[in-house]
């Protein structure tokens, strides 16, 4: 007869663990169900994050501008060197051709003078040393050979210089590409944040910015501040004529600008060439450290790394190209987002 065993009962400890786990799961589910959804960031919070991204994008933009300017300069220098090499090679070929004609003439008479052999040597430097020792050459022949030598040296030096600049150009292009991607990444992140705002919030944000710009313009136009030189006044007048044109990174006009693009174009319109980037523009004149000493048309620089520049408009206001999503406008120096460092009187 088969025996029937009673099933083993779970231990008291195991029952307690299972019961506790089940209770915790129920409680967690209840809390998750009752938990409030994460709050959407406010308009002001979005604006603060966007402003920070725009500041970082502008920092990268000025580095992009510097790399672009260096690339253009290198391309011009390389082109000039290559032209010089081409002309030098033609001159060297003409010298060699003339020496070859002399050799052919002597060959037809049945003998080649040692001096002509020297001209045709594969190593003119070595042959010249030997020939000078043997006093085989006339002073005129020595001068002719020296011209060949000098031209060969010039060409070798220019080719080496071109090679180094081509390497520098390649690395500059790489840096340019990196900075461009960095700018685009920051701007894309900022746009994503702005897209999270409602249409009403976007409209309110735009109105706040427009109101602040109108107030700054009013304060600037009513200020009793003397203009700088005639050229500074002309640069400022140009900047005024560009009010309302959009900010675009890397742009120098006439349809759009970035910050240093506006200031460099404004002074170019006044007949003064200043550097392209904000950092380089700090060396364009005399530094002014007190706001009270600034004159209309002076360059004004902000942030510790000097990545933003505008033109002083008087009464603590400037005209500048602020950042992506804005236009050339008046703005109070107090609302730039970074400290005023100094002005420069060009």
**Residues annotated as catalytic (active site), given as ranges:** 259, 308, 320
In DSSP terms, 252 is beta-bridged to: 257
For 324, residues 6+ apart whose C-beta sits below 8 A from its C-beta are 54, 57, 187, 190, 247, 248, 249
Helix, strand, or coil here: 147? helix
For 130, residues 6+ apart whose C-beta sits below 8 A from its C-beta are none
The CA-based dihedral angle spanning residues 50, 51, 55, 57, taken in that order and rounded to the nearest 10 degrees: 20
Q: Round to whole Å and give the CA distance between 78 and 164.
A: 10
For 273, residues 6+ apart whose C-beta sits below 8 A from its C-beta are 267
Tokens of 293: 């000493």
Q: Are 261 and 250 in contact (CB under 8 A)?
A: yes
Measure the CA angle with vertex 228, ends 245 and 282; round to 5°.
70
Q: Round to whole Å and give the CA distance between 190 and 57.
A: 10
Measure the CA angle with vertex 155, ends 153 and 159; round to 5°.
120
User: What is the sign of the dihedral through the CA atoms of 323, 326, 332 and 334?
Assistant: negative
Give the DSSP H/E element, type plus range, for residue 308: strand 308-314
Q: Round to whole Å and give the CA distance between 100 and 69.
A: 46
The helices-and-strands tally (H runs, E runs) of the chain is 9, 6
Q: How many CA atoms lie within 13 A of 211 on its CB side?
A: 6
């Amino acid at each position: 007869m088969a025996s029937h065993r009673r099933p083993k009962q779970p231990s008291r400890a195991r029952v307690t663990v299972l019961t506790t786990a089940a209770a915790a799961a129920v409680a967690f589910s209840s809390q998750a169900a009752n938990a409030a959804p994460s709050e959407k960031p406010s308009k002001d919070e979005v604006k603060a994050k966007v402003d920070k991204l725009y500041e970082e994008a502008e920092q990268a933009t000025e580095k992009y501008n510097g790399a672009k300017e260096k690339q253009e300069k290198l391309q011009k220098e390389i082109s000039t060197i290559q032209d010089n090499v081409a002309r030098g090679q033609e001159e060297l070929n003409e010298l060699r051709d003339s020496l070859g004609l002399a050799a052919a003439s002597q060959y037809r008479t049945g003998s080649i003078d040692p001096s002509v052999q020297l001209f045709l040597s594969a190593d003119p430097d070595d042959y010249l040393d030997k020939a000078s020792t043997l006093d085989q050459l006339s002073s005129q022949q020595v001068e002719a050979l020296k011209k060949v030598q000098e031209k060969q040296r010039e060409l070798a030096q220019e080719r080496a210089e071109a090679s180094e600049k081509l390497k520098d150009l390649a690395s500059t292009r790489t840096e340019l590409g990196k900075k461009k991607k960095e700018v685009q990444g920051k701007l894309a992140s900022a746009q994503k944040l702005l897209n999270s705002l409602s249409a009403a919030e976007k409209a309110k944000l735009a109105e706040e910015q427009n109101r602040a710009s109108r107030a700054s313009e009013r304060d600037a136009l009513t200020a009793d501040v003397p203009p700088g030189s005639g050229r500074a006044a002309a640069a400022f007048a140009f900047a005024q004529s560009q009010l309302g044109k959009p900010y675009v990174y890397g742009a120098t006009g006439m349809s759009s600008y970035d910050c240093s693009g506006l200031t460099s174009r404004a002074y170019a319109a006044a007949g003064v060439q200043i550097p392209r980037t904000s950092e380089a523009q700090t060396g364009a004149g005399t530094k002014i450290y007190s706001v009270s000493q600034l004159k209309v048309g002076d360059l004004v620089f902000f942030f510790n790394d000097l990545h933003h520049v505008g033109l002083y408009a008087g009464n603590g206001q400037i005209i500048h190209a602020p950042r992506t999503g804005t236009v050339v406008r008046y703005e109070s120096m107090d609302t730039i987002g970074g400290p005023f460092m100094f002005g420069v009187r060009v």
